């Protein structure tokens, strides 16, 4: 696997592959790779001639300084995992390479980046959009792979690609879970033993929503589930909602059918914030 740090060197290497008509599959990450990322890598490897992964902890998408500082970093272990998964290239730029000067772009996603995660993490999706657009311009992938665990991020990326007419096909990939249902996330390693034991309750509550949602009882199920979750010591729900899977606006039986809806949750376990979702089709 080739490791590249400079934009110019990466462009040259990829141009050579493109010249021999090779397809390029791209998996952007912030490192701390787990099975969820590696599934994206394996899919990109199996569907493309060249799989490239980027590892870049993007400072401008963190609205919490402590979160940025505590973000787990282990480059050697990440590279070993990528190599084992069959990835051919990894791009690991420094902050100064990606942002030689501050990027002040402002995207207009309408409501999409103001609700849910956007309400609690102002500026987060603008920072994601800036870096993903930059990475797409550098890598020029045919296909880019994103996990459905970050459901709103995926909606933002789809909107970005549409708005900016970026010639890439976005491939959504299902959430990968631990045996007890907890969605894989780099943040899981920050959970204490006690918090880790409670964490699967988040997905269990989503399954129970899926089982009892009939397309009309959204408000009452949500209220009941929040009530049940609030009884669990150490767990604090930030939001739990059923929304339209395209607009991410609250489920309204007048204009959304049950099959087009998704339940989204964000909850704190101690000071670790976890998100998860389930499609209600």
Q: Which is nearer to ligand PAF, 132 or 161 (CB)?
A: 132
Start-to-end CA span in the chain (Å):
40
User: Per the residue annotation, which of 4, 28, 33, 37 is the catalytic one?
Assistant: 37
Q: Clarify whether 37 is annotated catalytic.
A: yes
Q: Return the number of the residue (160 or 269) whose C-beta is nearest ligand PAF.
A: 160
Q: How far is CA 154 from CA 2, 78, 139, 157, in A?
A: 28, 23, 19, 5
Distance between CA atoms of residues 127 and 203, nearest Å: 28
Contacts of 117 (CB under 8 A, 6+ apart): 124, 125, 152, 153, 266, 275
Q: How far is the CB of 60 from ligand PAF (least distance, A)?
A: 9
Minimum distance from residue 206 beta carbon to ligand PAF (Å): 20
Distance CA 55, CA 23 (A): 20
Task: Name the residue nearer to ligand PAF (CB basis): 29 or 201.
Answer: 29
Could you give the angle at the alpha carbon of 173 between the alpha carbons of 204 and 57, nearest 5°?
A: 95
**Nearest CA to 140 among 172, 168, 165?**
168
Question: Any idea of the CA torsion for 251, 252, 257, 259, to the nearest 10 degrees?
Answer: 10
The neighbour count for residue 280, using CB atoms within 10 Å, is 23
Q: How far is the CB of 208 from ligand PAF (least distance, A)?
A: 27
CB 152 within 8 A of CB 117: yes
Binding site for ligand PAF (CB under 6 A): 28-30, 58, 61, 128, 131-132, 150, 153
151 vs 203, beta carbon nearer ligand PAF: 151
Closer Cβ to ligand PAF, 127 or 201, answer by number: 127
Is residue 241 within 8 A of residue 250, CB to CB? The reply is yes
Q: Which helix (H) or strand (E) holds 274?
A: strand 272-279
Query: Residue 70 CB, nearest distance to ligand PAF (Å)?
Result: 15
**Bridge partners, 90 (sequence order):** 3, 53
Residues with catalytic function: 37
């Amino acid at each position: 696997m080739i490791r590249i740090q400079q934009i110019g060197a990466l462009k040259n290497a990829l141009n050579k592959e493109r010249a021999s008509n090779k397809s390029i599959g791209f998996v952007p990450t912030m490192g701390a790779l787990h099975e969820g990322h590696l599934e994206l890598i394996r899919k990109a490897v199996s569907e493309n001639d060249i799989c490239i992964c980027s590892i870049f902890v993007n400072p401008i998408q963190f609205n919490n300084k402590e979160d940025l500082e505590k973000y787990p970093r282990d480059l050697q272990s990440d590279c070993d995992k990528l190599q084992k998964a069959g990835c051919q290239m990894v791009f690991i730029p420094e902050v100064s390479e990606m942002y030689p000067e501050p990027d002040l772009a402002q995207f207009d996603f309408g409501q999409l980046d103001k609700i849910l995660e956007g309400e609690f993490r102002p500026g987060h999706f603008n920072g994601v959009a800036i870096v993903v657009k930059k990475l797409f311009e550098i890598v020029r992938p045919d296909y880019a792979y994103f996990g459905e665990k970050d459901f709103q991020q995926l909606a933002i990326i789809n909107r970005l690609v549409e708005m900016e007419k970026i010639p890439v096909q976005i491939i959504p990939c299902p959430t990968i879970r631990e045996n007890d249902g907890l969605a894989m996330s780099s943040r899981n390693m920050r959970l204490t033993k006690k918090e880790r034991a409670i964490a699967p309750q988040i997905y269990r509550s989503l399954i129970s929503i899926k089982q009892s949602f009939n397309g009309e009882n959204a408000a009452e199920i949500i209220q009941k589930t929040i009530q049940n979750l609030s009884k669990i010591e150490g767990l604090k729900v930030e939001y739990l909602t059923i929304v339209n899977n395209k607009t991410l606006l609250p489920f309204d039986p007048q204009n959304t059918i049950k099959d087009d809806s998704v339940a989204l949750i964000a909850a704190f376990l101690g000071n670790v914030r976890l998100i998860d979702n389930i499609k209600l089709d």
